[in-house]
Structure 1
Amino acid sequence: MNKWKSILLPVLIISALMSCKDQKETGNVLSVEVYETSADGNNLTKVEPFQVSDSATVITINENKTFQTITGFGGAFTESSAYLLNRLSEKNRDTIINAYFSREGANYSLTRTHMNSCDFSLSQYSYSPVAGDMNLDHFTIEADQPDLIPMIKDAMAASENGFKIFASPWTAAPWMKDNNEWVGGSLLPKYYDTWALFFSKYIDAYKAEGIPIWGFTVENEPHGNGNNWESMHFTPREMTDFVQFHLGPKLEADGHGDKIILGYDQNRAGLREWVDVMYENEATSKYFDGTAIHWYESTYEVFPEELQYAHNKAPDKYLIETEGCVDSEVPAWKDDKWYWSKEATDWGWDWAAEDQKYLHPKYAPVNRYARDIIGCLNNWVDGWVDWNMVLDKQGGPNWFENWCAAPVIVDPDKDEVYFTPLYYTMAHFSKFIRPGAQVIGVDNPDKDLMVTAAKNPDGSIAFVIFNEGMENKNYTVRFRESEISINLGAQSLQTVLIPVTN
């Protein structure tokens, strides 16, 4: 440092602090806390001091303009994640559970799990193992006892605020399907009542374990998934008929009418045809509480028109992102830079039709998460659920070898844990935007910045801003009669928390 810098730097700092002090005395400076995750190395780090110089970009939070109420944010309990946790030391297991579910951690509030096996299981299994057992006399969740149920119970113990759990089946047992296979095929009509009973039995079995189930998606990816792993096909009409005439009435008759039923549960590009059938009239809509969506149609496109269409079709229903992950990738191990670099690819990089490949360019994993969550919140989505919470260095275990990334990667052989930047990205939303929060208006003049804001039940406001560009961006956030200018570095995600307001 030359002598002029050494002289001027303290002067500039003192001047900035005095300026900030003067503005505070006049009541014009907005009181905030800023948390940042960045390519430069911040990981949900509380950053200060703030830049007090003027900014050309003024972003105004408008609490009088209100949108959807938040259901929650979180991830999925899978057998693969639970199995890995059981292979770690007690200390590392507790560290991960607390990181996800404690108030000091990400404080997850909305979670998913699978009914029967899925690709992120150790093997294929069903809770209804006996063929022809129409009354499900042999129903058992024994397969969940070693790993999955203990993980959920540990999470419940760590969570001060509690969280919702919804369950999704990938397929019924092969004996209920027209192809008698785990993969593909459709549910035979003669087993519609048996399959509805399956959901009711599941609620009772998990309740006996002390685990309350909040709701269900009717079927994970009813279009199928390329005939790769567990799947079962429904058309929009078939699913609607199953819910209207079988699942809804059965849950109601068994005293489970309060359980949430989410339809569809696949990519957003197919939303219109599904909500048109699900919400065709009062009778078809009766038992559907909302719509579930995934993000795999594109690595960058949010599909706002489809989301808005789904909301407008059923404005009083849930619209929840129930699964998203960095798929078809072996995750980078202890390499934060990879998660900020546009090197990852997804299934579509190799397999999408030629006219759809433009939707699947290389991308940065952090960008994909941050862009999608903000884009969803700005288009009526009220919940956002990640996929596996924990995977190993290979991106498994996965019986089909469908390797994926997760926010937390572990090496069970060496008892090592790596919290990737994706974990901190999720926490920017789950920790600060709480269930019952209401998304509010934000006026943002800078098209290169993505922003969203929500007012929490306690009156605090969480404002999230993402700069995926390679240049620093100073901005001023204005709320009511106060404002503050903040420096936003290149490739940075910030949550600006405005304390409890009247």
Structure 2
Amino acid sequence: MTRGLFSKSGRRSLAVGAAAAVLAATVVGLTESSTAVAATSANVWQTTRDRADLLTRKPALTFGGPGSGAVITVDPGKTYQSMVGFGASFTDSAAYNVFNSPSRDAIMRSLFSGDNGIGLSWLRQPAGATDFSRSIYSYDAGAPDPTLARFSIAHDEAYILPLLRQAKSINSQITVMGLPWSAPGWMKTTGSMIGGSLKTEYEAVFADYLVKFVQAYQAAGMPIAYLSVANEPKFSPAGYPGMLMSADQQSRVINLLAPKLAAAGLNSKILAYEHNWNDPVYPQQVLANTGANTVGTSWHCYGGNPGGQSTVRAAYPAKDVFFTECSGTESGNTANTFGDTLVWQGRNLAVGSVRNWARAVSLWNLALDTSHGPVIKSCSDCMGLVTVDGSTVTYNADYYVLGHLAKFVKPGAVRIESSAQAQGGIENVAFRNPDGSIVLVAVNSGGAQNFQVAYRGSSFGYRMPAGSMATFTWPGA
């Protein structure tokens, strides 16, 4: 479908799934073990655009059985990046929606349990307000406070941190990333969290502010493993928190921040950039200026294509790549929204970003309400992984896209070689888990078609419906 632009935020509209099923229906088929029955068999889970299958376990496939069509060869002998996790964000709005739902515990299990849900293993957490917040807030609001004597994360203790701790209690392998949309208003040229940029004289204070954020979250039981210094630094939204930051200023802030983190005994790793695929120049400028103070780059989907990640990775092969945000809108034709999103996010995020070196895949809001919010002067029809309406919970295509990865690909898994196919074919990406099991995630971006999967001299055949997604698992050698 044609993808336009959000009129207020300038973001690309990505059709994100309409509510798919009530909670009880969602978890059907998710309690089975992802281990293949035997070395001669492969298990398969499938999601179809008509929702007839929603991460549904299908009959096991036999290696050596009949097959036809294109061959996808999986080669565990050729390896690429290791995976950190798959997930989304408990924005202020998402956390408020889940925390206050009568179905809170069931939602949390469906998101973070590997047995009864999709086993999300990554959380990208805003430090202060975003466009998806109930109010505009920072951790040090008011008059200038260069010593940060007022600093407090009390806002987050109300309903954000309790959910983060609950998520970690369900899945102990969760990794948390943190980042601000804006510095406190008094540090900026506008005197507000809306618009403007960070004043040069407050760069060191802003670095101190981020150190305090990491310290406070660690003390609250949620260590910050990865940290960025600004969300979308090339974009200044007109109505919600944001902050322009040049590549030079981002470099200066990172070079101030890294030694401060080390001096405080904190191990958070800093990621550069945090913006769209269509500008590989900015991240290279920051990497060139920050050296060992940055471990890699982080990327969004609202412009360009996943190949931008590989452009930077080729220039800086020692630096990691993380894909950290993608959201979209409910399609004008809601009947098509689920299927459109399943294919677009499947091929561009689940497959495309990972084939272009991403070690994590992170979508945006974990949960929004039926009005696509709460939201501040931004996208009025964005979708979360789930939609919460009191005790009624529905699951969108984003949930299943991430589920095809997170439920089966464990933290520490390594991407392995698999035969690439062009759009219209069976686009795919493969992994070897820490326990040796093999996972192949496939997206059929064309019509219904047969294909074969070859592994170590044997193969199985499968027929995927048009516009569907599937995950195949089997024991490794």
Q: Is the 8 A contact 1:130 1:138 kept in 2?
A: no
- The alignment's C-alpha RMSD in Å is 2.0
Q: Is the 8 A contact 1:30 1:484 kept in 2?
A: no
Q: CA deviation at 1:468?
A: 2.3
Matched, 1:490 2:469: no
Residue of 282, 293, 311 corresponding to 1:274: 282
Q: CA deviation at 1:449?
A: 2.0
Instruction: Give the alignment of 1:361-400 within 5 angstroms.
Output: 364-373=340-349, 374-400=351-377
Match of 1:82 in 2: 95
Per the alignment, do residues 33 and 225 of structure 1 end up closer, same or farther by CA in structure 2, a change over 3 Å counting? farther
Q: Is the 8 A contact 2:197 2:243 kept in 1?
A: yes
Distance 1:445 1:147 in 2: 44
Distance 2:335 2:160 in 1: 29
SS in 1 for 2:41: coil
Q: Is the 8 A contact 2:95 2:160 kept in 1?
A: yes
Match of 2:80 in 1: 67
Residue identity matched to 2:453 = V
> Which protein has greater RCO, CA pairs closer than 8 Å, 6+ apart?
2
Per the alignment, do residues 483 and 207 of structure 1 end up closer, same or farther by CA in structure 2, a change over 3 Å counting? same
Q: Is the 8 A contact 1:62 1:479 kept in 2?
A: yes
Distance 2:401 2:421 in 1: 24
SS in 2 for 1:197: helix
Match of 1:423 in 2: 399
Residue of 440, 451, 469 corresponding to 1:463: 440
Task: Tell which structure's C-alpha radius of gyration is larger.
Answer: 1
Residue of 93, 103, 106 corresponding to 2:118: 106
Residue of 388, 391, 412 corresponding to 1:410: 388
Match of 1:33 in 2: 43
Q: CA deviation at 1:215?
A: 2.1
Per the alignment, do residues 336 and 69 of structure 1 end up closer, same or farther by CA in structure 2, a change over 3 Å counting? farther
Residue of 171, 175, 199 corresponding to 2:182: 171
Distance 1:277 1:441 in 2: 31
Residue identity matched to 1:262 = L
Q: Is the 8 A contact 1:58 1:445 kept in 2?
A: no
Distance 1:131 1:445 in 2: 57
Match of 2:139 in 1: 127
TM-score by length of 2: 0.87
Q: Any idea what the Cα deviations from partners look like across 1:106-160, whole Å, max 9, x if unmatched?
A: 111111111111111100011012422111011011111211111111111211x
Match of 2:314 in 1: 312
Match of 1:144 in 2: 156
SS in 1 for 2:358: coil
Runs of 4+ in 1 over 6 A off after TM superposition: none
| Runs of at least 5 residues in structure 2 that lack an aligned partner in the other structure | 1-37
SS in 2 for 1:98: helix
Match of 1:12 in 2: none
Distance 1:279 1:135 in 2: 30
Distance 1:241 1:460 in 2: 43
Distance 1:286 1:162 in 2: 26
Match of 1:262 in 2: 271
Match of 1:7 in 2: none
Q: Which has the higher helix share?
A: 1
Residue identity matched to 2:248 = R
Q: CA deviation at 1:389?
A: 0.5
Per the alignment, do residues 336 and 156 of structure 1 end up closer, same or farther by CA in structure 2, a change over 3 Å counting? farther
SS in 1 for 2:164: helix
TM-score by length of 1: 0.82
Q: Is the 8 A contact 1:389 1:408 kept in 2?
A: yes
Tell me the number of residue pairs that the alignment of Structure 1 and Structure 2 aligns.
433
Per the alignment, do residues 171 and 330 of structure 1 end up closer, same or farther by CA in structure 2, a change over 3 Å counting? farther
